Chain A
Amino acid sequence: MGSFPDITTKLGDYVEQFVDFLDLSLEGFFDFIYIVSSQIINSIETALVWMPWWSFILVIFLLGWYFKSIFSGVLYSIFIFLIGTFGLWEDMMTTIAVVLTAVIISLLIGIPLGVWMAFSKGFSTVMRPILDAMQTMPSFVYLIPAIFFFGLGNISAIAATLIYALPPVIRLTELAIRGVDKEVIESAQSFGSSKWQMLRKIQLPQALPTIMAGVNQTTMMALAMVVIASMVGAQGLGEQVLVSINRIDISLGFEAGISIVFLAIIIDRVTNGIADKLQKHRRVSE
């Protein structure tokens, strides 16, 4: 039997040292992220919890109606109502808050990065493999640095979710900006637009439907992270799933699981509906 010779590389150690280094040198940065994220998540959660239950259902109905159809509106309201009857109302709110926060931050970071990649070939070349790695790495791995930097709780869940869910926004933003019709760009140029006017008034609006597709993907991925993130202390529906696994509680597991599915359906359809609405007048005009 040929066993592997006694050679070891310490790649893992190096990474650990690197993470240590980051923690020390970028402490301020991580504090900043922590504060911003907790601000966002707290305000969202407060708002959601403050809302009377029926008004939340009404909002969901209106969203479904406006962006899809009246039938969808009714269906989504029933979904939400059912989640309430499972006794998971507050958990649902927490999950929505975590997901929304992760999505908002990933847009805040992702869109500028995507725009930058669209404008700079060099930056794009550097970013591509990083984005590939971010997407292919098993999502569990992100939990470790997340805990390390932010401790247990919702914030590290958001951080892990962020890393996992960021790539689609960045990629689709780059793609969308690059894909804007050349003649449209030229015509804006020919009127003497500045770079900033061009970006704000032409490129971003033109790219918006594609960026919305990225938002849809990001949101779905964030939702998929909910259960995994509960391992680092995220509360909400994911936590309930985790609890039910530990207790082998089929009933709770199913209810929490199906609630996540309901949320996924609603979020997917509504964001798709928004993308469609935006797309309406943006066919290439010829």
Chain B
Amino acid sequence: MTTKIKLENVSKIFGAKPYSIIPMIKEGMEKNEILEKTGHTVGVYDASMEIKQGEIFVIMGLSGSGKSTLIRCFNLLNKPTHGSIFIDGEDIVNYNSSQLKQVRQKKIAMVFQHFGLFNHRTVLGNVEYGLEIRNISKEKRQEIARENIEIVGLKGYEEKYPDQLSGGMQQRVGLARALANDPDILLMDEPFSALDPLIRREMQLELLDIQERLQKTIIFITHDVNEAFKIGDRVAVMKDGKVVQVGTPEEIIEEPANDYISDFIKDIDRSKVFQAEHVMIKPNALVSMKDGLNVAVKEMEENNISSVFVVDRGRHVKGIVTIDDAITGIKEKKTLEDVLRTDISVVQRDEYVNDLIAKTLESKFPLAVVNEEEKLIGFILRVHVLSGLVSDDVNESIEYIG
């Protein structure tokens, strides 16, 4: 994957003479010391990272660790005191105001923690704003705005005002507004923190859904580890203005760079995080009872898998066939029903990943995930559980992957 954004030694100091502080930090003075002696705040210090095209890059850290300060550097709401920010290979830090306007209008859009909606405008008026200031014709921009309102699931609310919507809906407006400009990069500063947990989870899933369709490069801030690991392809951990670790969730769990991160990870409330449906994979191959063994083998070969679930007409799980069983079955002229293995584990869609650990370990086959009507909606492999499983005892999970 290509690099979309590259940060090189970015620092942001707040105060009267920010540049005078850089040497002090280089000498190793701590954030607190600098604040006491000079009254300057180190917002971000020496952050370097590369963000790839199409990934969800999460920045996490405690309150005051500099997350917002950093993300606001990406669109120069904060101008870095030091360092470079390359977007598509161009350093934007020293852009003049019209170049900057171009970047903000076309390449980067931002979603805010408290939504930052224009409450004197309707939903439609909010979503079309970014296009309006680019002087796109009313007809065109409203058409685009309506499409995006539909994407975030707010069709029918175009003429409402933000204060007539719930928090979750308001943030959808924020998201639609950002998407309407069709930016390559989406900056999201704790977009779901102001929402209650249920709505929040829903929004997280929807973001993943939208991301799958639109493939933006997303930079997402959160102080919630669960959220970070759930949606992040890679995660950067910040502490006192410094980036202390960057890696995939698995890498961070496996090898926390320091105690700070281990502490952070401990906070994960395993029992309440991921449910079966969050980690499952939707089956792209299914075999019906009446299909027979040849179809089963063909399905498995085409999809490059070693076993496939068998369902009846109502999509109820009957069992599983493995490729080996099927091939021997064909040789011995057996039917699908003969080689069908019924000793599979079936789990409900809302079972917590935590409860699935034992089941995945015991079962030789993937877990079948069913909905309320007992219809098969997905399956879970052992490795999938990992993304939802973050244990206090890290070794346990490593063993488990191995």
The answer to whether B101 touches A201 (Cβ under 8 A) is: no
A183 within 8 A of B: yes
**DSSP class of A's interface residues: helix, strand, loop or mixed?**
helix
A16 within 8 A of B: no
In the assembled complex, how far is the CB of residue B223 from the closest CB belonging to chain A, in whole angstroms? Answer: 18
B266 within 8 A of A: no
A194 within 8 A of B: yes
The answer to whether A191 touches B130 (Cβ under 8 A) is: yes
- How many residues does chain A have at the interface if contact means C-beta atoms less than 8 Å apart? 24
* Chain A residues in 8 Å Cβ range of B110: 186-187, 190
The answer to whether A192 touches B100 (Cβ under 8 A) is: yes
* Chain B residues in 8 Å Cβ range of A283: 119, 163
The answer to whether B116 touches A192 (Cβ under 8 A) is: no
The answer to whether A286 touches B129 (Cβ under 8 A) is: no
Candidates B132, B134, B162, B187; contact of A285 at CB < 8 Å: B162
A206 within 8 A of B: yes
The answer to whether B109 touches A191 (Cβ under 8 A) is: yes
* Chain A residues in 8 Å Cβ range of B101: 192, 194
* Chain B residues in 8 Å Cβ range of A205: 118, 120-121
* Chain A residues in 8 Å Cβ range of B109: 190-191
Per-position 1/0 for A161-200, Cβ under 8 A of B:
0000000000000000000010110111111111001000
B117 within 8 A of A: yes
The answer to whether A188 touches B119 (Cβ under 8 A) is: no
B170 within 8 A of A: yes
Complex interface residues of chain A between 90 and 122 (CB less than 8 A to chain B) = none
* Chain A residues in 8 Å Cβ range of B105: 191-192
B161 within 8 A of A: yes
B114 within 8 A of A: yes
B294 within 8 A of A: no
Task: Kindly state the separation between the CA atoms of A181 and B339 in the bound complex, as whole angstroms.
Answer: 67
A281 touching B119 in the complex, CB below 8 Å, given contacts A190-B104, A191-B105, A192-B101? yes
The answer to whether A285 touches B112 (Cβ under 8 A) is: no
In the assembled complex, how far is the CB of residue B199 from the closest CB belonging to chain A, in whole angstroms? Answer: 14
B16 within 8 A of A: no
A202 within 8 A of B: yes
The answer to whether A286 touches B114 (Cβ under 8 A) is: yes
The answer to whether B163 touches A192 (Cβ under 8 A) is: no
In the assembled complex, how far is the CB of residue A201 from the closest CB belonging to chain B, in whole angstroms? Answer: 7
In the assembled complex, how far is the CB of residue A141 from the closest CB belonging to chain B, in whole angstroms? Answer: 40
The answer to whether A281 touches B129 (Cβ under 8 A) is: no
User: Which residue of chain B is the closest to A186 with respect to CB atoms?
Assistant: B77
Task: Kindly state the separation between the CA atoms of A177 and B117 in the bound complex, as whole angstroms.
Answer: 16
A193 touching B117 in the complex, CB below 8 Å, given contacts A183-B112, A186-B112? no
The answer to whether B163 touches A190 (Cβ under 8 A) is: no
Candidates A183, A188, A189, A194; contact of B114 at CB < 8 Å: A183
User: Which residue of chain A is the closest to B135 with respect to CB atoms?
Assistant: A197
A128 within 8 A of B: no
Task: Kindly state the separation between the CA atoms of A208 and B114 in the bound complex, as whole angstroms.
Answer: 22
Task: Kindly state the separation between the CA atoms of A281 and B75 in the bound complex, as whole angstroms.
Answer: 29
The answer to whether A202 touches B118 (Cβ under 8 A) is: yes
Task: Kindly state the separation between the CA atoms of A184 and B115 in the bound complex, as whole angstroms.
Answer: 8
The answer to whether A188 touches B163 (Cβ under 8 A) is: no
The answer to whether A286 touches B116 (Cβ under 8 A) is: no
The answer to whether A186 touches B116 (Cβ under 8 A) is: yes
* Chain A residues in 8 Å Cβ range of B164: 281
Complex interface residues of chain B between 111 and 158 (CB less than 8 A to chain A) = 112-121, 129-130, 132-134
The answer to whether B133 touches A192 (Cβ under 8 A) is: yes
In the assembled complex, how far is the CB of residue A160 from the closest CB belonging to chain B, in whole angstroms? Answer: 35
B103 within 8 A of A: yes
* Chain A residues in 8 Å Cβ range of B132: 201
The answer to whether A189 touches B118 (Cβ under 8 A) is: no
A285 touching B129 in the complex, CB below 8 Å, given contacts A186-B112, A190-B75? no
The answer to whether B130 touches A282 (Cβ under 8 A) is: no
Highest count of chain B CB atoms <10 Å: which of A186, A281, A282, A286: A281
* Chain B residues in 8 Å Cβ range of A187: 110, 112, 116-118, 174
The answer to whether A188 touches B118 (Cβ under 8 A) is: yes
The answer to whether B77 touches A285 (Cβ under 8 A) is: no
A189 touching B120 in the complex, CB below 8 Å, given contacts A201-B133, A281-B162, A285-B170? no
In the assembled complex, how far is the CB of residue A218 from the closest CB belonging to chain B, in whole angstroms? Answer: 22
* Chain A residues in 8 Å Cβ range of B77: 186, 189-190
* Chain B residues in 8 Å Cβ range of A192: 100-105, 130, 133-134
Task: Kindly state the separation between the CA atoms of A193 and B120 in the bound complex, as whole angstroms.
Answer: 17
* Chain A residues in 8 Å Cβ range of B187: 190
B194 within 8 A of A: yes
User: Which residue of chain A is the closest to B103 with respect to CB atoms?
Assistant: A192
The answer to whether B133 touches A197 (Cβ under 8 A) is: yes
* Chain B residues in 8 Å Cβ range of A186: 77, 110, 112, 116
Task: Kindly state the separation between the CA atoms of A181 and B101 in the bound complex, as whole angstroms.
Answer: 21
Task: Kindly state the separation between the CA atoms of A281 and B187 in the bound complex, as whole angstroms.
Answer: 27
* Chain B residues in 8 Å Cβ range of A193: 133
The answer to whether B104 touches A191 (Cβ under 8 A) is: yes
Task: Kindly state the separation between the CA atoms of A178 and B114 in the bound complex, as whole angstroms.
Answer: 19
User: Which residue of chain B is the closest to A183 with respect to CB atoms?
Assistant: B116
Task: Kindly state the separation between the CA atoms of A284 and B170 in the bound complex, as whole angstroms.
Answer: 12
The answer to whether B129 touches A191 (Cβ under 8 A) is: yes
A191 touching B133 in the complex, CB below 8 Å, given contacts A281-B163, A285-B119, A285-B162? yes
Candidates A181, A183, A184, A285; contact of B163 at CB < 8 Å: A285
The 10 closest A-B pairs by CB, nearest first: A192-B104, A187-B116, A192-B105, A281-B161, A183-B116, A190-B110, A191-B130, A192-B101, A205-B120, A285-B162
Q: A184-B119, A189-B77, A283-B119 are in contact. List 11 more A-B contacts (CB 8 A).
A: A184-B117, A186-B116, A187-B117, A187-B118, A188-B118, A201-B129, A205-B118, A205-B121, A281-B120, A281-B164, A285-B162
Q: Can you give 8 contacting A-B residue pairs, CB < 8 Å?
A: A187-B118, A188-B118, A188-B129, A190-B77, A190-B108, A192-B130, A282-B163, A286-B115
Q: Which B residues are within 8 Å of any A CB, using their own CB?
A: 75, 77, 100-105, 108-110, 112-121, 129-130, 132-134, 161-164, 167, 170, 174, 181, 187, 194
